Structures are given as C-alpha cells and as structure tokens.
Amino acid sequence: MGDFLEQMMKFSLNVMVSGSENIAKAMQEVQHEAETPDEAEDTSETDEDFTSTFSSLSRLAIVPLFEMSKLPITVLVKTISEATQEIQEQTAAGYEGFSEEETAEDFDREIIPLSEREAALETEATLTEEAEESYQINLWQIGRSGRPDFKGKWTTAFDYHLGTDVDEINRPTVPHFITAQGGPKSRGATEKFNVHFTLDRDYTNGELAFIYDRWGTEKDQVFVDNELLAPIGGAGKGMFKHVALSLKDIPNGDHVITITTSGETEAGGHRIDYLKLSEIEKSA
C-alpha cells in the first residue's frame, strides 16, 4: 500500500509540474498577445475564452495538490524529499555537462597561440606570484582597474611621458585599448603604446618588474628600449590576465617600454587596465 501511495505521489508531483509549466506557457502567450500591435490581435477571442482557459490550467495545478493532501504525512515528506534531491542532481548534471564546457570552449576558441620559443620566453620572464610580492616599491603607475575610458582619438602610436598628468593613476590620458594591426580605429585606442620614463640609477637583472593587467585573446609583445622582453599569450575571449615580468639589466637615464598586440580575432584588440614599474624590496 505504501509503494502504491508513493507512486501516486510522484505522479501527482509530475502532473503538478506539468500544470505549472502549462500555466507559465499560457501566461507567456497572453503577455505576447498583449504586446502585439492591435492590427495583429485576434478579435474573435473573448474575455470568456480567456477565463475558461485560465481556469482549466489552474485546475491542472490545483488537483494534484488536493490528491497529495490525502496521503499520510510520512509518505508525503519522504516523497517530496526524494523529488527535491532528484531535481538538484539533474540541475547539477546539466551545468556540469553543458554550460561550463560550452563557456570554456567559447572563451578558449580564439586564443592566439604562442610558438614553443615564444612560450619559453614568456615563462622565463614571468614572475611567480610569490616572487612578485617582493616588488613593493612602485617607481610609477599609470591607471587602475575601473578607471574612466580615455576618449582621445585613435593613433597608430601613442607616446606617454611620465609626469605629464596631474593624476596618473585615476585619470591618466592614455589609451585603454590596444589594437592589432588593421584592427578597429576606435576612440581611446592605439596600435603601439610607448611609455617614456627616466631612471635615476642603474638596475641589475631582476631588480625591476614591469606589471600590467590586460584582457582578451590576442598575443602581446613587450619591448624595453626596442628590445623584445617577452611575448605574452592571451587568457581567452573576454578573460582577464595579470602580467608580471622581470626586467634585465637597465642603466640610469631615459627609457621606453612598448606594448603591441597581434592576432586575427573578433575584437581586433584588447583592453588594458593599468601599468606599473616596481622595484624589488631588498632585506636590510
């Protein structure tokens, strides 16, 4: 008898879900018809027709509830618990088997690959997260995450000289978008971003770190005084990447760090949030 009641309970739950789905579908149709211009409406439909339809659908959901009330409370609680668990498992399976994989595929499908040599150069120059923590003295910083977009006109090359802005961190007049060659010539963008700065002493290999935040799938090239420091692979379509590179020997005087990007992608370039040059903090 108990098994029979449990089966009846599950049947009632299924009917109730089906009835709820029908009601939702009917309400969507009603909303759609309400949004349709007058000339597209069916003038033969009356208020009585709508009332009858809604009443029938309501009974589809209410009748199973009435049947459920006849079951013993222990059977009711047990069956509802099992049904809830099944729904949760099906939902989890749906996310694991479809959404996450499709999202990852969508992010990865446009990444511009690095060659073996380029990947080796990137790995050699990139600081680990632990090593980056040693560079606590900022010599300069341009921009920050969430800063207002630069509205200046597009340029093939943009030269920025440190010390020319009143607020270089919060409101720097620098491009926020790096385009590949032939990419979109939008406002606030450039193909070649040059940062000019001056050092007041010599720095040996590993004493300075160049750090910046970027997005997108394109491949960057970072140069110091026109010499390639490292190529930087993208993280994926619409995805963020934090870059921290160790600089080689660099003497006192005037210098320039250049960033370009390349790759045939839908965006034609990527956003850049901030750039900074940091000095390693030596222990006393």
β-bridge partners, 224? 227, 257
Q: Would residue 192 count as lying in a domain? A: yes
> Among residues 58, 73, 108, which one ends one of the domains?
108
In a domain, 284, yes or no: no
Same domain, 144 and 200: yes
Enumerate residues 6+ apart whose C-beta is below 8 A from 96: none
Q: How many domains does the chain have?
A: 2
Beta strands in 202-265 (DSSP E): 208-215, 219-224, 227-232, 240-246, 253-262
Is residue 13 domain-shared with residue 140, that is, in the same domain? Answer: no
Claim to verify: residue 253 and residue 136 sit in the same structural domain:
yes
Q: Which of 50, 79, 108 finishes a domain?
A: 108
Q: Locate tokens 């390349």: which residue?
A: 262
The answer on 137 and 181 residing in a single domain is yes
Q: Are residues 151 and 54 in the same domain?
A: no
Shared-domain flag, residues 184 and 238 = yes
Domain extent for 234: 116-279
Please check whether residues 48 and 73 belong to one and the same domain. Answer: yes
Q: Which of 57, 75, 108 finishes a domain?
A: 108
What are residue 224's phi and psi, to 5 degrees?
-120, 115
- Whether residue 252 contacts residue 121, with contact meaning beta carbons closer than 8 Å, is answered with no
Q: Reply yes or no on whether the pLDDT at 191 is more than 80.
A: yes
**pLDDT for the residue numbered 82:** 56
In a domain, 206, yes or no: yes
Residues 145-159: pLDDT tens digits? 999 999 999 999 999
My answer on whether 130 and 87 are in the same domain is no
- Residues 41, 18 share a domain: yes
Q: What is the pLDDT of residues 69-126, one digit of tens each?
A: 554 555 444 545 554 455 454 444 443 333 444 444 454 567 999 999 999 999 999 9
The pair of three-digit structure tokens given for residue 283, joined into one six-digit string: 């222990």
